[in-house]
Structure 1
Amino acid sequence: MEVSDMVRMANQIAAFFQSYPHEEAVKEVADHINRFWEPRMRVAFLDYIAAGGKGLDQLVKDSASLVREPKIRPTAKTGTAHAHSGGQLEDGLETADA
């Protein structure tokens, strides 16, 4: 996914919740990202935030601390996920060694 697309999508989510009280809007933006963005998108989002988050609405930046890092961390080139040991991936998926 292109960074510009991710920024646009995150800012659209923020625009939707802009009329909510700030604390509620922060929670709703993070909840939306946690529920509907796949792990690769959340990793890219969190990496982008760590790099400064240029172009992101302040509401998106404020919500970033509530966005969960995936339990699996996809690689950038292949999109292949690497699981932590324990046999369970995010959302209850099992690893092959479980």
Structure 2
Amino acid sequence: MSTTTPLPPECRLANDIARAFRHLPDDQAAEAVASHIRRFWDPRMRTRLSRFAAEGAAGLHPDVIAAVGLLTGPEG
């Protein structure tokens, strides 16, 4: 039996959002995820997601990782 640590709620939610935009090309999907998070998430949730991504991002959808980069970049 393997023991895996469940993803934090923010990570699970961000992955769900990324799956909702899977019909878009990767760059557009990442921007759509970042836009959704920017518009609807509490700053504390964004901080927890960014912190998790900085600690290795294990289990995060690639579009979420890209979105976190957009959120924490100069324009985020």
Q: Find out whether 1:6 has 2:6 as its counterpart.
A: no
TM-score of the superposed pair, with normalisation by structure 1: 0.63
Please name the residue that 1:39 is paired with: 43
- Structure 2 gaps, min length 5: 1-5
Please identify the structure whose Cα radius of gyration is greater: 1
One-letter amino acid of the structure 2 residue matched with residue 35 of structure 1: R
Please name the residue that 2:3 is paired with: none
Instruction: Tell whether the 8 Å contact from 2:7 to 2:59 is kept in structure 1 after alignment.
Output: no
Secondary structure in 2 aligned to 1:23?
Answer: helix
- Structure 1 gaps, min length 5: 70-98
TM-score of the superposed pair, with normalisation by structure 2: 0.79
For 1:34 and 1:54, locate their aligned partners in 2 and report how far apart those are by CA, in whole Å.
22
**Runs of 4 or more off by more than 3 Å in structure 1?**
none
- More helix per residue: 2
> Once the two structures are aligned, what percentage of the paired residues are identical?
37
